[in-house]
Amino acid sequence: MLGYLTKIWTISERLLKESKVDMVIGFRKGTVPMMNEPCVVKSPENVKELVWDSNCGINLANYLTDRKEKIAVIAKGCDSRNIVTHIIENKIKRDQLFVIGVPCKGMIDRHKISSMFEKEIIEVIEEENKIIVRGNDCEKIFKKAEVLQENCAICIHRNPVIYDELVAEPVKEQTDIDRYKDVRRIEEMQVEEKNNFFDETLSACIRCYACRNACPLCYCPTCFVDESRPQWLGKSIDPVDIKTFHLLRAFHCAGRCTDCGACQRACPMGINVRIFTKKLEKDCFELYGWEAGMSLDERPPLDTYRPDDPEDFIK
């Protein structure tokens, strides 16, 4: 994956030089370990600002919402599926976009690595399949597979589903993955146990909305939590309000979520917020055989009706 960079530079430079696009949206090197910053490059001289490594977990589809320019965007598998969803939902037009597709081998989990390294992390170096973490006078080497973001570890669509140019040959997709083990564990819980689990999971939430704002699906001009007339929920850190926010947000993402993991990556408190969206993702898969953002030609399950709908209430 590290070898992609030259190709990203070449493509970006060419597109900007030939004025095929007004800008390239990608990542630049961050100022702290395991962080890159989404950025925009507008002139061919600056393409070398762009980086690509296993710290590009933020979903760049989030930066396309309602933009009017012609844009080249660097997209891994999940980004590309959210780009499809964006196009279907009229948040951007296909012909505005030049998708630079990146076959992805997964992003590393900064929360996890921090918790596996007792000292302050000064530097994280990536070699193919190896992550070297350095502190002051200490070093630890992890296999990349051990420290992948969980959504990446169970990802079955690593290759972009739409693209105008790929930076490398497609990677082999993972097979025989049990995607919903954690969801099943919760489904099996009794009501009270489930409730306690939700409360426990969300106990650290500070309502900063990083999860919502990092999510390309959450583009509502006024989110239901911000609505004042009617005011659907309180603004305090009352656990009921916090839980309502997370559960309702998950429902709003039903049939649209690609499990890109941006919400969880963004959370400053390291909360497993994906667990909620994943339940809806699982339901959509099991009820409708649906995976979000796989094709521009198919309407998502919650805005289509089929006579063989598994739910009785709708018939």
Partner 1 sequence: MKIIRIDKKNWAGGLEKLKGSYRLFGPVKDNEFHNFKRLDKDELPDFNYFNTRLSPKSIIYPQSEIMLEYELDENKENHHVMKESKKDYSQRVVIGIRPCDASAFLLVKRNFDTPEYKDPYWIRSYEATTFVGLACNNPQATCFCTSAGCGPFYEDGLDVLLVDAGDHFLAKIISSKGENLLEAAGWDTETDADEQIETMKQEAEARITSFVTTNKLKDKKIIDLFDAPFWEEVAFACINCGTCTYVCPTCWCFDIQDEAYGLCGIRMRNWDSCMFPLFTLHGSGHNPRSTNMQRVRQRFMHKLKYYVDKYNDGIQCVGCGRCIRLCPVNIDIRKICNMMNSYEVQVTSD
Partner 2 sequence: MQNPYLPYPVRIEEIITETEDKNLKTFKLVFLNPDDQEKFLYKAGQFAELSVAGKGEVPIGIASSPSEKGYLMFTINKVGLVTTTLHCMKPGDIMGIRGPLGNSYPWDILKGKNVVIIGGGFAFTTLRSAIVYMLDPVNRPNFKKIHVIYGARSPGMLLYKDELAAWEARDDINMHITVDSTEDPTWKYNVGFVPTITEQKAPPGNEDTYAIICGPPIMIKFTQPVLDRLGYCHDKIIMSLEMRMKCGIGMCGRCNIGKEFVCKDGPVFTLAQLNEMPKEY
49 with 41: CB under 8 angstroms?
Answer: yes
- The alpha carbon dihedral of 56, 58, 6, 152 has a sign of positive
To the nearest whole angstrom, how small is the minimum distance from the Cβ of residue 247 to partner 2? 25
Taking the C-alpha atoms of residue 12 and residue 18, their distance in angstroms, rounded to an integer, is 10
To the nearest whole angstrom, how small is the minimum distance from the Cβ of residue 214 to partner 2? 24
270: contact with partner 1 by CB under 8 A: yes
Taking the C-alpha atoms of residue 221 and residue 92, their distance in angstroms, rounded to an integer, is 15
260: contact with partner 1 by CB under 8 A: no
242 Cβ partners below 8 Å, 6+ apart? 202, 205, 207
Q: What does the block give as tokens for 262?
A: 């941006």
The angle formed by the CA atoms of residues 108, 13 and 41, to the nearest 5 degrees, is 60
Number of residues assigned to the chain: 315
Q: What does the block give as tokens for 82?
A: 């959210």
To the nearest whole angstrom, how small is the minimum distance from the Cβ of residue 232 to partner 2? 13
31: contact with partner 2 by CB under 8 A: no
134: contact with partner 1 by CB under 8 A: no
Taking the C-alpha atoms of residue 248 and residue 254, their distance in angstroms, rounded to an integer, is 10
- Max intra-chain CA distance, the chain: 67
Q: Which is nearer to partner 1, 203 or 304 (CB)?
A: 203
Candidate ranges 80-88, 140-148, 166-174, 262-270; the one touching partner 1 (CB under 8 A): 262-270
51: contact with partner 1 by CB under 8 A: no
222: contact with partner 2 by CB under 8 A: no
58: contact with partner 1 by CB under 8 A: yes
190: contact with partner 2 by CB under 8 A: no
Taking the C-alpha atoms of residue 209 and residue 257, their distance in angstroms, rounded to an integer, is 17
236: contact with partner 1 by CB under 8 A: yes
Q: Which does 140 bind (CB under 5 to 8 A by kind): partner 1, partner 2, none?
A: none
231: contact with partner 2 by CB under 8 A: yes
Q: Which of 229, 306, 311, 314 binds partner 2 (CB under 8 A)?
A: 229
To the nearest whole angstrom, how small is the minimum distance from the Cβ of residue 32 to partner 1? 6
46: contact with partner 1 by CB under 8 A: no
Q: Which is nearer to partner 1, 37 or 193 (CB)?
A: 37
265: contact with partner 1 by CB under 8 A: yes
Q: What does the block give as tokens for 17?
A: 């030089």
Taking the C-alpha atoms of residue 274 and residue 36, their distance in angstroms, rounded to an integer, is 21
228: contact with partner 2 by CB under 8 A: yes
Q: Which is nearer to partner 2, 181 or 229 (CB)?
A: 229
Q: Which of 5, 44, 70, 114 binds partner 1 (CB under 8 A)?
A: 114
Q: Which does 114 bind (CB under 5 to 8 A by kind): partner 1, partner 2, none?
A: partner 1
Contacts 24+ apart (CB under 8 A), 286-293: 287/311, 288/255, 290/255, 291/157, 291/258, 292/81, 292/85, 292/255, 292/256, 292/257, 292/258, 293/80, 293/81, 293/82, 293/83, 293/84, 293/85, 293/88, 293/161, 293/256, 293/258
Residue 147 CA to its chain's centroid (Å): 17
To the nearest whole angstrom, how small is the minimum distance from the Cβ of residue 228 to partner 2? 6
- Binding site residues, partner 2, CB under 8 A: 228-229, 231
- Binding site residues, partner 1, CB under 8 A: 30-32, 35-40, 58, 62-63, 111, 114-115, 120, 122, 204, 206-210, 212-214, 226, 234-238, 265-270
